[in-house]
Structure 1
Amino acid sequence: MNWDGLRNVRDLGGLPTPLSSNGSTAWGRLARGPRQERLTQRGWNAAGAWGLRTVVDLRCPEEVGRQKGDPDTSPPEHLALVLAPIEDHSDPGFQAVCLPILDSPAYWRHHVRLLPGMIRAALQAIARSEPGILVHCAAGRDRTGLITALLLANAGVPSASIVADYAQSVEEMAGTAAHGGPTHDRQAGWSPTQVSAWLQRVTPEVQAFVADHEEMFALLKLGQTTRGALRDLLLTP
């Protein structure tokens, strides 16, 4: 979508799923993207025209706020802004296992195992939110990728489409300026050749995570009512 100031922002509608009456996820319900502070006023206007009502921010509190180079804009007052961090950088296990690989889907299953309560709370926040939701982190690629993979798998979207969705985020954000995430982003300087090599390397990680999504939901202890609400979010026109 063309929301001025943001790369890598898109509607998760139109993806194939056998669980929908028309064979695809619904448009205008859920979007994914990077940090909201990059939106210009024209970008916020475009988001409003799309139907944005709720922003669910997956970042840690210390990451939130304007940075050097961000436009001098603010979210519209009517928006519901929900901070639902899924990382705890002070947790020793997370520090040791996940921090070194935060730019790789290899960390996703470790994250679920180490901090299930935080991920569960974020999914519950999304389930409670009014449709027209933007889910984002810093780059909209890794944390958002984990949450999106769970949402899409829960809605019956096939593995190939979830892999393609992750790959699109890698391609969109590679070669851009630093995005203000918690660790140095080596992908910020990557060429298309490096991106292609990376995706060949990590695609099996995404496929394995999606294949094990029921195990992931069991570890998260996410109730069937919440899973149903998340499914409806992506399937209800």
Structure 2
Amino acid sequence: MAEGEQAMAWNRVLTYDAIVNFRDFGGYATGAGGRVVAGRLFRAAHQNLATDADLERMAALDLALVVDLRRPTERQNQPSRRPSNWGGSVIDNDLGDESETPHLAFLRKSDVTPASIEAYLQGYYSKALHEERHQDLFSRALRALPGLDGGVLVHCTAGKDRTGLLVALIHSILGVHRDDIIADYLLTNELTMTEARREQVQQNLSEALGRPVPEEAVQAFLGVAAHHLDIALTSVSDEYGSVEGYLRHLGFTDADRDAVIARYTA
């Protein structure tokens, strides 16, 4: 990532009282010589703990669409707070719900070693883009982008894995260089790997599982790694020939692509 892009990476971060990993994922240069517009494409973690001041900041973004990638149980346990009188739309679904999130189920039965955590994450990323619930959500979200009169917020629980995958697809459509796609994905590490957050997540996980959770497990689940995103994107290239082939599988047409590019680049 160029020096100018590095500076922009810090400017793109939006500071909230109780919503983490909130940022604008516009602003990147495109292969066509333009730039993704800023102020329309946002990503974040969940908004369950949002303060009233946070909601005022969200209202100022003029969001027309929220894409909530969480499972039904997650949405029920941590319902979103949204600005009063917000009139936008929400994309979510009820497919593939489980009594607890996959990472908690893994931790409950795992020996939680660095090797087992890495194997779990590699398995997750090799399958995530192929899951029916994700394909439904991603297809609907991507095809909604051209018609929005306002911004879009993509989020899951932590705003890193599921969110990172959809953002990577959007960046790919817009012609963002692979290095910048990875850099935007890795920015999560700067925003979530703080000591205070690690301690809080470690405490929450230990209480949920009824046993201590090692620090290395917390670090692995808080952050992201470039090779995991590579695994996901390679998996669809292997299955569908390319990321573009995967998008066509989702029902995302060349006309959709052209409309998204026209709407979100300049």
Structure 1 length as normaliser, TM-score?
0.73
Residue 42 of structure 1: aligned partner: 53
CA–CA separation in structure 2 for the residues paired with 1:38 and 1:232 = 35
Instruction: Quote the residue 1:190 is aligned against.
Output: 219
What is the DSSP-based 3-state SS (H/G/I as helix, E as strand, rest coil) of the residue aligned with 2:27?
A: coil
Does residue 24 of structure 2 align to residue 11 of structure 1?
A: yes
Distance in structure 1 (CA, Å) of the matches to 2:248 and 2:70 = 24
Relative to structure 1, is the Cα distance of residues 35 and 233 closer, same or farther in structure 2, using a 3 angstrom cutoff?
farther
Among residues 33, 37, 40, which one is paired with 1:29 in the alignment? 40
Contact 1:135 1:144 in 2 (8 A): yes
- Listed as ranges, the gaps of 5+ residues in structure 1 are none
Distance 2:38 2:157 in 1: 23
Q: Secondary structure at the match of 2:63?
A: coil
SS of alignment partner, residue 53 of structure 1: strand
Query: What secondary structure is seen at the aligned counterpart in 2 of 1:165?
Result: helix
Structure showing greater radius of gyration is 2
The question of 1:82 aligning with 2:90 is answered yes
Instruction: For 1:83 and 1:159, locate their aligned partners in 2 and report how far apart those are by CA, in whole Å.
Output: 27
Query: Residue by residue, what CA displacement relative to the aligned partner does 1:5-46 show, whole Å, maximum 9, x if unpaired?
Result: 1111111121111335xx321011110111122321111111
Q: 1:202: which partner in 2?
A: 228
Amino acid aligned to 1:75: P
Residue identity in the other structure for 1:36: Q
- 1:135–1:83 CA distance, 2 compared to 1 (3 A): same
Aligned counterparts, 1:57-72, within 5 A: 57-65=68-76, 67=78
| CA 1:89–1:62: 2 relative to 1, 3 Å | closer
CA contact 2:72–2:97 (8 Å) conserved in 1: no
1:153-185: CA deviations, max 9, x gaps?
0000011011111111244234534499xx999
CA distance in 2, matches of 1:229, 1:49: 25
Q: CA deviation at 1:109?
A: 5.2
Match of 1:135 among 150, 154, 161: 154
Deviation at residue 105 of structure 1 after TM alignment: 6.8
Instruction: Percent identity, please.
Output: 27
1:166 to 2:185 alignment: yes
Is 1:110 the counterpart of 2:101? The answer is: no
Change (3 A) 1:58 1:103: farther
User: Aligned pairs, how many?
Assistant: 219
Q: Where in structure 2 are there 5+ consecutive unaligned residues?
A: 1-13, 107-116
Distance in 1 (alpha carbons) for counterparts of 2:178 and 2:236: 6
* Conservation of the 8 A alpha-carbon contact between 2:36 and 2:265: yes
Change (3 A) 1:112 1:189: closer
Q: Output the CA distance in 1 between the equivalents of 2:170 and 2:145.
A: 10
Q: Which moved more, 1:201-210 or 1:4-13?
A: 201-210
Q: CA RMSD in A?
A: 3.8
Letter of the 2:225 partner, please give it.
L
Alpha-carbon distance between aligned partners in 2 of 1:142 and 1:187, rounded to the nearest angstrom: 18
Give the structure 1 partner of residue 3 of structure 2. none
Q: Deviations over 1:82-117 (max 9, x none)?
A: 132386246xxxx8xxx8689847644533334234
